[in-house]
Amino acid sequence: LGILPAVLRGVALTLDPILTPVLQRILATLDGVAPLVVAAVLSGVALAPTVLANLLWMRWAARFAVERPTQQVVSVGMVAVAAALALSGLMGPELPYLFFVPVMALFGLGFLLASTAWAFFFFNALPGDMACVNAGINRAAGLVGGAIAGAV
């Protein structure tokens, strides 16, 4: 494990010349577009590993969530999110973007585990004839959370 940071730095420095022209092409395509649109597009591209990494371990996460108790799945998900937040807090702004990719992937995994297990637990907590109420509450909570995250 002691060599891992050096290997990651080498990979990041190797891929940085490849990724820079790609980002420059994206910026050139967005030349003349409103700055908020440019910021939204670049934010989406930068945060893509959070979602795309879930495609790699979706099957494992589903099997893990089915085989374990709900409380354990949510706890593991929350620990993964906490670890990702702690790691990102230890990283400085001088590090290349590629160092953040595994941390974002870990955050995505934790969010996948915690949110899906919580939603399953939440929807099964009330009687079946109240499924519409459950769906409405879950959707409203998601919208409020999205609004707060967008404001922050």
Q: What is the pLDDT of residues 20-66, one digit of tens each?
A: 666 666 666 766 767 667 677 767 777 788 888 888 888 888 888 88
pTM: 0.63
Half-sphere exposure of 150 (CA within 13 A, CB side): 8
pLDDT digits (tens, 9 = 90+) for 91-140: 877 777 778 888 989 999 998 888 887 777 777 777 767 667 767 777 77
Rounded to whole angstroms, the Cα distance separating 32 from 39 reads 13
pLDDT digits (tens, 9 = 90+) for 12-30: 555 566 666 666 666 667 6
Do residues 53 and 84 make contact, with C-beta atoms less than 8 angstroms apart?
no
- Please enumerate in sequence order all residues whose Cβ is within 8 A of that of 39, keeping only pairs 6 or more positions apart, or say none: none
Rounded to a whole number of angstroms, the CA Rg of the chain reads 19
Do residues 115 and 108 make contact, with C-beta atoms less than 8 angstroms apart?
no
Residue 1, pLDDT above cutoff 50: no
